[in-house]
Structure 1
Amino acid sequence: MNLNKVVFNDVLLVFVILMPMIISAQELDPILKDLIHKGISKNYTLKSNHIESEQAKVDQQMAKSVFLPKITLNGSFTRLNDDITFDDDTKNLLIETQKLIIKDAVGLPFNSTFPDDIPLQEAANLQNKNILKSSVDLDWVLFSGFEASNALKASKHKESSLNYVGLAEADKIALQIIETYDKMALVKASKKVLTATENYLNEQTFYAKKAIENGLATPLSRKKIELAQQQLAAKQLDFEHKNILLVEVLHQLTDESKEKLKLLQPKLHLFSFEGTSNNEKRNEVKALEEAEKATNYKVKMEKSNFIPKVAIKGHYEFIEDDLSLFDPKWFIGAGVKWHVFDGNSSRLNSKKIQLESLKFREQINDANEMIALSITKAQLTYEAAKENTKIVKKEIEIANATYNLVNKQYKNNLASINDVLDALNDVEKANFKLQESFYNERRAVVDLFHAKGLLTY
């Protein structure tokens, strides 16, 4: 078989193998999707964000619970140093009054002597020294001046903001995993280029050996080929190290076992821009907008401090024996609490929160401008990468033709082995550049999907 034809066919075969598929929409490799989901599940920042979101839900429950009645059971025992009684003058007054009432009841004259056989009752203690109490209290807020309802709405928007922050963080994790996965695909494709180069060098080694045996070449030619093979082995080792490092990075990001990651064979599938004309609002912007709404409701909370609050208070004593003469067995009442002036505390807090809201608005404007810039940058990068791919494909075509021509000349003693190796090096470089161009295309499209808020996984 003609050696030139074999080499040319090998070049075409490798070129076909390294040509990636073009997918009309964003459709990630199922293996890549699985890695992204594992990375999201493993990420500590997202777990922390989820905890904060749960705290916001608890805040909502606390705001609602303001309107639930608070019932408190009380119990106590107190021993005083002595009973609390009336003073002696008051006791005497009460005794004499008692005598007058009894005389009147039995029909004795007002100024007659009080009979000794009629018992008199001592005045009751105001408070016995042993006091045992058991009671229940009721506190029930009927109207909080809209403070609780505004707190509830603020907490809901805070929860939404945290959820969008989590989605934005998940997008960052997905982008990081996609980029690492694509780098691994680039390494795999580059190794295939090196494998093709190795096949060419093996063919040249075979030819050089035959040429030396027939006196058509010197051993120096073979040594130059051997040097090229050693250089190729160094490149292969470098790509192997890159692959090992990428496996470590993916393992750290996803917690997937290294054994499974080493078996991955990712490919640089390209995406097109079809269906990407419409933009979706980015999660980062949604998070800022929800945070802005939350601060607006906090402002309303501060202002509602001056609205009257209405509540019910109730009390009931289970034990009557140890109550003082002035203690009621039970009572219930309604009250109004109205802050007329709080030393400007609410006004200053409201102003401070309003400034926080303005800060969020500035961040939203900045984010929108940066997103618009990133969309433009991604589109330009994609167009440049597509154009570069066309150029590199032409370079490959020329490099293959040049190599084929120089190889024929070498076999007819019209070119040196250096010319052959240089031509082969050009073929290798062109194929490397093609894979890098594919990689840049894919990165630009993924970045564009992300910038437009259309990244799905």
Structure 2
Amino acid sequence: MKKLALLLAFPLVCYGLTIDEAVEKAVENNLQIKQQEMEIEKSRYQLEQDKNLFMPEFFMDFSYTTMKDTPYTKLPAGSLPFPLSFKQTNKDFRFFDFGINYYIFTGFARIEKIKISKLDIKANRLMLQEQVNTVSAKTKKAYLDVLMARAVVDVYRKQLEAVQKHLERVKEFYKQGLVARIEILQTKVKLSEIQRNLRKAEGELKIAKAVLQNVMNVNESLEVEPVKISLPDTLNIEELYTRALSNRSVIYSLKERVKQINSLEKIELSQFYPKVAAQLKYFYTDQYPYLDPKENYALVLGLQWKFQGAAPYYGYLKRKTENSKLRLRLQEIKNDIKLEVKAAYERFLTAKANLNVAESSLAEAEEYYRMVVEQFKNQLASTTDVLDAESMLTSARKGREISYYQLLKAYVDLEKAVGGSLKDEK
């Protein structure tokens, strides 16, 4: 019976989810990442399709024709001493052929198309890395939001516990005739306010968990664990710029797109080259009654050279313009990344300074609250003084927790902007 109870209780055990596990699950389940993976798969299929441009082209044709009348050729008397007529074709006939076409030379277009497909795979893989970087940062921030919301709930619970203790103390003093009943009512009003704040904070915690579930694309209940992130003492903005321009996959993805445009330029110019093809086929027809044999084999070598005016050249210039535009876009992306790094860096420094101020304020608020409580015990302070001091302490605690997690979120933003971990940053 005890074993059965243990087994029934086992599914109810809830294990905490670490921030790294959350990121791993988010990367595994995120819908945007799945879509990008499908883009890579699509690019692979395109590459295989383009490789088949070097394969021979198979063909087979069959037709059956029936005519109203049988066509005849009639020769009048003159060239011959008598008129002559003979059947030109059969009234009903069939035609059948099959074989292969092979394009020997197409002006290097096939080679460039394969290059484009390979570059497309590389570009999509790099964009997948960029997507993973974005999703990882988003997941970490959502995870930290849950911890921050939970910390705020704990702050209000501490406040509720402290004010409840004060209420008991006030009631005891009232029994002794040391305070007026109004101080009991004042404390109860404060308790009601704290309970409202606590319920609101608990609601914010549920919302934060729902956001994390949405980012991770999971439905199960989540319990998070505290995080310990080592923050660097100093950061060099110029080194961060250099690292970001070296790490960010979106830059390399655009460079691959530039190479694709280069290949498209060559494809446009390939229209000026002649095309060489070969055909090997078997054919049969009973259309002509006097044709013998009715079946045959043929090998055909052909050369074709055609282009419409300067159209290929202008197509080349169009691709050139696209290339220049993409290079400008690449420079724009680099500028945006530097701006993102700068903004994240400044937010990190601001959050770090804010945390120092918040911790200093918390220490002062704790000391002030301790002194006011002691004064109240000695009848040197009123309930108003205690509740005001406690409110200041709660505000300082809440400010410290929010400042701490805002600092961690700012650090996550900075790592996202740089495109990698900053643990080895000096």
Taking structure 1 as the reference length, the TM-score comes to: 0.79
Kept after mapping to 2: 8 A contact 1:94/1:123: no
SS at match of 1:334: strand
By how many angstroms is 1:242 displaced? Answer: 0.8
By how many angstroms is 1:186 displaced? Answer: 0.2
By how many angstroms is 1:338 displaced? Answer: 1.6
- Which residue does the alignment assign to 2:181? 219
Give 1:52-451 correspondences, 5 Å limit: 52-89=39-76, 93=80, 125-258=87-220, 260-261=221-222, 264-273=223-232, 278-279=243-244, 280-318=246-284, 325=291, 329-339=296-306, 341-451=307-417
Kept after mapping to 1: 8 A contact 2:94/2:286: no
SS at match of 1:127: coil
Separation in structure 1 between the aligned mates of residue 316 and residue 46 of structure 2, nearest angstrom: 20
Kept after mapping to 2: 8 A contact 1:130/1:322: no
Kept after mapping to 2: 8 A contact 1:268/1:442: no
SS at match of 2:309: coil
By how many angstroms is 1:300 displaced? Answer: 1.2
Change (3 A) 1:432 1:351: same
SS at match of 1:415: coil
SS at match of 1:271: coil
Which stretch of the first structure deviates more once superposed, 419-428 or 157-166?
A: 157-166
SS at match of 2:302: strand
Kept after mapping to 1: 8 A contact 2:29/2:216: yes
By how many angstroms is 1:455 displaced? Answer: 5.4
By how many angstroms is 1:375 displaced? Answer: 1.9
Q: Percent identity?
A: 21
Which residue type is aligned with residue 192 of structure 1?
D
Separation in structure 2 between the aligned mates of residue 90 and residue 447 of structure 1, nearest angstrom: 101
- Which residue does the alignment assign to 2:13? none
Which stretch of the first structure deviates more once superposed, 80-89 or 311-320?
A: 80-89
By how many angstroms is 1:212 displaced? Answer: 0.5
Separation in structure 2 between the aligned mates of residue 94 and residue 413 of structure 1, nearest angstrom: 151
Which stretch of the first structure deviates more once superposed, 410-419 or 37-46?
A: 37-46
Kept after mapping to 1: 8 A contact 2:262/2:323: yes
Which residue type is aligned with residue 337 of structure 1?
Q
Q: How many residues align?
A: 399
Which stretch of the first structure deviates more once superposed, 50-59 or 445-454?
A: 50-59
Kept after mapping to 1: 8 A contact 2:89/2:287: no
Separation in structure 2 between the aligned mates of residue 45 and residue 324 of structure 1, nearest angstrom: 69
Change (3 A) 1:269 1:412: same
Larger Rg: 1
Kept after mapping to 2: 8 A contact 1:181/1:266: no
Separation in structure 1 between the aligned mates of residue 207 and residue 17 of structure 2, nearest angstrom: 22
Which residue type is aligned with residue 265 of structure 1?
V
By how many angstroms is 1:271 displaced? Answer: 3.4
Kept after mapping to 2: 8 A contact 1:270/1:441: no
Which residue type is aligned with residue 272 of structure 1?
L
Change (3 A) 1:127 1:222: same
Change (3 A) 1:65 1:325: same
Which residue type is aligned with residue 296 of structure 2?
K
Change (3 A) 1:325 1:93: farther
Kept after mapping to 1: 8 A contact 2:130/2:249: yes
Which residue type is aligned with residue 62 of structure 2?
G
Change (3 A) 1:265 1:57: closer
Q: Unaligned stretches of 5+ in structure 1?
A: 1-28, 97-121
Kept after mapping to 1: 8 A contact 2:285/2:295: no
Kept after mapping to 1: 8 A contact 2:17/2:225: no
SS at match of 2:279: strand
Q: Encode CA deviations 1:2-51: one digit per residue, 9 max, x unaligned.
A: xxxxxxxxxxxxxxxxxxxxxxxxxxx96334433443444444444333
SS at match of 1:66: helix
Separation in structure 2 between the aligned mates of residue 198 and residue 300 of structure 1, nearest angstrom: 74
Kept after mapping to 2: 8 A contact 1:144/1:309: yes
By how many angstroms is 1:324 displaced? Answer: 6.3
SS at match of 1:270: coil
Kept after mapping to 2: 8 A contact 1:150/1:300: yes
Change (3 A) 1:330 1:178: same
Which residue type is aligned with residue 234 of structure 1?
R
By how many angstroms is 1:320 displaced? Answer: 6.1
Kept after mapping to 2: 8 A contact 1:188/1:266: no
